[in-house]
Structure 1
Amino acid sequence: MNQMTTEFARPVVRRSSNLLLWAILAFFVIAVIWAAVTNLDRTVRATGRVIPSSELQVVSNPEGGIVQRILAKVGDTIARGAPLLTLDRTQMNGELGSGRATIGALELKIARLRAEIAGQEPRYPAVSDPALTAQLVVERALHTARLADLANAVAVAAARLDGAEREAVGSAALVRARDAVRDEKLHEVGVIGPLVERGIEPRLSLVQAQAAADSARAEAEAARASLARARAQVAEARSAKAVARQQWRAQAAAELVAAQADLSAKGQSLPTLENRAARTVVRAPVNGTVNRVLVTTPGGSVQPGQPLVEIVPADDRLLIDARVLPSDIGTVAIGQTAKVSLTAY
């Protein structure tokens, strides 16, 4: 009985040993296959820095100035157009205000000159700036003074015309009187001549009558010449009156051309001043993250074009610029996917 039991157990032990052998062999095959197809994560330490794939956006100001407020901090996420810092705009405001005041004053002057040329009462644009209100008073005073100058010039010309007309009237009356005397003397010559031929009057009477007639004729011609001069003076005085008005308007027209040219020049420079004033608020050119703020002191001065803020664009990719230890080079390959963790120090 014992012998049979021993013989039966031997095949069972042999089969168990075979199964264990096959299990061990299968384990090693599976381990080799798993090692061939499975990637294991490995930690590699390196020192480096995070950099953007493209250039940083360096913000500057073309005019420079005094820093008034610093609004951005390192790490801030900002949108395009967001204010980063402000510069003192006292000087810019002064230049801009002066430019606007000059334009307003020129507009008032142009309104006055146009009215003077047209012979109308000026219609000035509405003003609210105290400086322009004062300029409006000046323009109204200038208009009143200009009208007084015109009235004086016209009055002088009118007085001259009146004197010339009176002289012309007197000359015309003198011509008529001298013509009458001449005609009378010629009539006397006509009467005395036949009497002398008949011996009734002496020849001396005829000579005297002819001399008187010649004198009367000369005086009549002189009166006519005086009348011609008087009439010329009348025409000249009338022309002088018209010229006084024309010169007054011509002066206004010349001033108008100059004022319009100045207004055009100032109008073209005003947008430049407004842009310069607007640029005293330094704004972000792109969406992104503030990398560095290069000015830290309000009240400090910055030069034109000086870098003020660095921004990493939001749509930019970040790169890791790191130096791997020689002992870890074998575990790093080109194109390998890596998970990066940043330490605090």
Structure 2
Amino acid sequence: MTVPLAVGAKQPGDDPAPFGKNFIVLGFAIIAIFSTLTGMWLVAAPIQGAIVANGLVEVASNVKTVQHLEGGIVSEILVQEGDRVSPSQVLVRLQSTASTAAANEIKAQWYEAKATEARLIAERDGKDSIEIPPELKDPGKMAAEAVSGQESIFRTRQTLLRERLSLLQQTTGSLQKEIEGYEGQVAAATRKLELIEEQLGDVRALYQKKLVVRTRLTDLETEKADVGGDLSGYIASIGVARQKMEETKFKVAELNASTAADIVAELGVVRAKIYESAQRIAAADDVMTRTEIRAPIGGTIVGLKIHTIGGVIAAGDPLMDIVPVDDNFVVIANVDPLDVDQVKVGLHATIWLSAVGRRYQQPMNGDVRTLSADRLVDPRTGKAFYAARIVLTPQSLKATPVALQAGMNTQVMIETGARSAWEYLSAPVYAAMGRALREQ
């Protein structure tokens, strides 16, 4: 009788060995394939390396700080924090009382110097009146007063000069008349001598014939000597008078020459003063224009530091900042000094805005354009860093859904290049071995 076998019971002739061997071989094959693939991945598969740094969004042309050269008293504040301004827009007005007074004083000096120059030119050229230059035909009070004052001086000086010349000319005229009188006396004495000489000739002839007494001859000779003495005196007086006349003429020439020399010297001084005053007027006008503090560029007002009408601002004090509009943005990344050896100009960078969740934004792309030559120190934290300037690509700027503003915090990943996983894993080992070998 045949007895049936239980389910699962081994049948005669069944051999489990081949199935077990195949399973083991398959397992080793899978392990070998996985190990091979893993090794190939470790050696050949590139992994992109990067360093992470914090950064700030800045405008490419930098924020402009508004300052004033001289300072002054605030008269008007025409902007508020956050206002948009256009280039050359008036931001603040300063009181102009002092600068206006200084400018008017300098202009009065210039008008006076120009009027003096015109008066000296008229005196030099011997004119009867001052020729008013176009600059002094200004209807203003300062020009009129300057011209009026110099015209008065011109008339006074001309009168004084004419009087002095007139006195010298009168002296010359008197001497000329005196000379003419002496010349008449010389002529009379000469004629008288001629007559006496004729009489002497006749008397001498008569005296030799004993027809006249000797006293008659003696009287004529005495008279001749007296007349001759008078003639010599007249001639000497003429010489003295002529010498005085020459001295008087010399005084006239000397007066004219000294007057001309004084005029030329005064002209030189006055023209130097005109030039100096003109330069000071230009400087004063420049100060006047700066009583209106204007925006150097268009942008947004930030960091407004003046709020009080009548307040005093010192020379060079920062008054406010202007963040440019319609300008490209850059990111300044603070690179750790331990990582700076991996950062080079031209490396690609990926930037995320810290204020926006990563799943709500697309990362921005850029390139490292500059790296600071030396490390910098944050004055607030005292932490050292190297500043990497990253220029964002135009595509990133257009695609960013968030309106960028200067001062936004960012997280920056600067790609340092691809390395295999094996290089990453083995680098610490090699470094440790190198240190160990150096220590030994």
Question: Do the structures match in fold with TM over 0.5?
Answer: yes
Equivalent residue number for residue 35 of structure 1: none
Equivalent residue number for residue 31 of structure 1: none
Instruction: Indicate how the Cα distance of structure 1 residues 214 and 342 shifts in structure 2: closer, same or farther if over 3 A, else same.
Output: farther
Describe the superposition over 1:85-113 as per-residue Cα deviations: whole angstroms up to 9, x where unpaired. Answer: 12111111111112122212222222222
Pairing of 1:136-147 with structure 2 (within 5 A): 136-147=147-158
Matched, 1:313 2:324: yes
Task: Give the Cα–Cα distance (whole angstroms) in 1 for the partners of residues 201 and 227 of structure 2.
Answer: 15
How far residue 79 of structure 1 moved from its aligned partner, in angstroms, is 2.9
Q: How many residues align?
A: 286
Pairing of 1:227-242 with structure 2 (within 5 A): 227-242=238-253
One-letter code aligned to 2:83: D
Bigger proportion of residues as helix: 1
Q: Which TM-score applies when normalising by structure 2?
A: 0.58
> Higher RCO, 1 or 2 (CA under 8 Å, sep at least 6)?
1
How far residue 171 of structure 1 moved from its aligned partner, in angstroms, is 0.9
Matched, 1:158 2:169: yes
How far residue 223 of structure 1 moved from its aligned partner, in angstroms, is 0.6
User: 1:168 touches 1:234 (CA, 8 Å); kept in 2?
Assistant: no
How far residue 234 of structure 1 moved from its aligned partner, in angstroms, is 3.2
Q: Which TM-score applies when normalising by structure 1?
A: 0.73
Equivalent residue number for residue 75 of structure 1: 82
Secondary structure, in 3 states, of the residue corresponding to 1:171? helix
How far residue 318 of structure 1 moved from its aligned partner, in angstroms, is 5.5
One-letter code aligned to 2:230: E
How far residue 193 of structure 1 moved from its aligned partner, in angstroms, is 2.5
Task: Give the Cα–Cα distance (whole angstroms) in 1 for the partners of residues 192 and 328 of structure 2.
Answer: 117
Equivalent residue number for residue 131 of structure 2: 123
Task: Give the Cα–Cα distance (whole angstroms) in 2 for the partners of residues 320 and 246 of structure 1.
Answer: 77
Task: Give the Cα–Cα distance (whole angstroms) in 2 for the partners of residues 292 and 208 of structure 1.
Answer: 125
Equivalent residue number for residue 255 of structure 1: 266
User: 2:55 touches 2:331 (CA, 8 Å); kept in 1?
Assistant: no
Task: Give the Cα–Cα distance (whole angstroms) in 1 for the partners of residues 185 and 199 of structure 2.
Answer: 21
Higher mean displacement: 243-252 or 102-111: 243-252
Equivalent residue number for residue 64 of structure 2: 57
Secondary structure, in 3 states, of the residue corresponding to 1:68? strand
One-letter code aligned to 1:107: K
How far residue 144 of structure 1 moved from its aligned partner, in angstroms, is 1.9
How far residue 340 of structure 1 moved from its aligned partner, in angstroms, is 5.8
Higher mean displacement: 52-61 or 75-84: 52-61
- Residue 211 of structure 1, aligned match among 222, 225, 248: 222
User: 2:66 touches 2:295 (CA, 8 Å); kept in 1?
Assistant: yes
Equivalent residue number for residue 9 of structure 1: none
Describe the superposition over 1:216-272 as per-residue Cα deviations: whole angstroms up to 9, x where unpaired. Answer: 212111111111222333344344445444444444333322211211111122211
How far residue 208 of structure 1 moved from its aligned partner, in angstroms, is 3.6
How far residue 305 of structure 1 moved from its aligned partner, in angstroms, is 1.0
Instruction: Indicate how the Cα distance of structure 1 residues 320 and 260 shifts in structure 2: closer, same or farther if over 3 A, else same.
Output: closer
Task: Give the Cα–Cα distance (whole angstroms) in 2 for the partners of residues 79 and 318 of structure 1.
Answer: 22
| Structure 2, gaps ≥5 residues long | 1-53, 335-347, 358-440
Task: Give the Cα–Cα distance (whole angstroms) in 2 for the partners of residues 337 and 176 of structure 1.
Answer: 125
Secondary structure, in 3 states, of the residue corresponding to 2:98? helix
Equivalent residue number for residue 44 of structure 1: none
| Structure 1, gaps ≥5 residues long | 1-46, 323-333
Q: RMSD of aligned C-alpha atoms?
A: 2.8
Task: Give the Cα–Cα distance (whole angstroms) in 1 for the partners of residues 251 and 226 of structure 2.
Answer: 37
Task: Give the Cα–Cα distance (whole angstroms) in 1 for the partners of residues 66 and 283 of structure 2.
Answer: 20
Secondary structure, in 3 states, of the residue corresponding to 1:335? strand
Higher mean displacement: 300-309 or 228-237: 228-237
Higher mean displacement: 62-71 or 107-116: 107-116
Instruction: Indicate how the Cα distance of structure 1 residues 199 and 67 shifts in structure 2: closer, same or farther if over 3 A, else same.
Output: same
Equivalent residue number for residue 89 of structure 1: 96
Task: Give the Cα–Cα distance (whole angstroms) in 2 for the partners of residues 191 and 219 of structure 1.
Answer: 24
How far residue 145 of structure 1 moved from its aligned partner, in angstroms, is 1.4
User: 2:57 touches 2:329 (CA, 8 Å); kept in 1?
Assistant: no
- Residue 188 of structure 1, aligned match among 199, 210, 219: 199
Task: Give the Cα–Cα distance (whole angstroms) in 2 for the partners of residues 72 and 178 of structure 1.
Answer: 106
Task: Give the Cα–Cα distance (whole angstroms) in 2 for the partners of residues 212 and 90 of structure 1.
Answer: 94
Bigger proportion of residues as strand: 2
Higher mean displacement: 215-224 or 153-162: 153-162
What is the aligned-residue identity percentage?
Answer: 22
How far residue 160 of structure 1 moved from its aligned partner, in angstroms, is 1.4
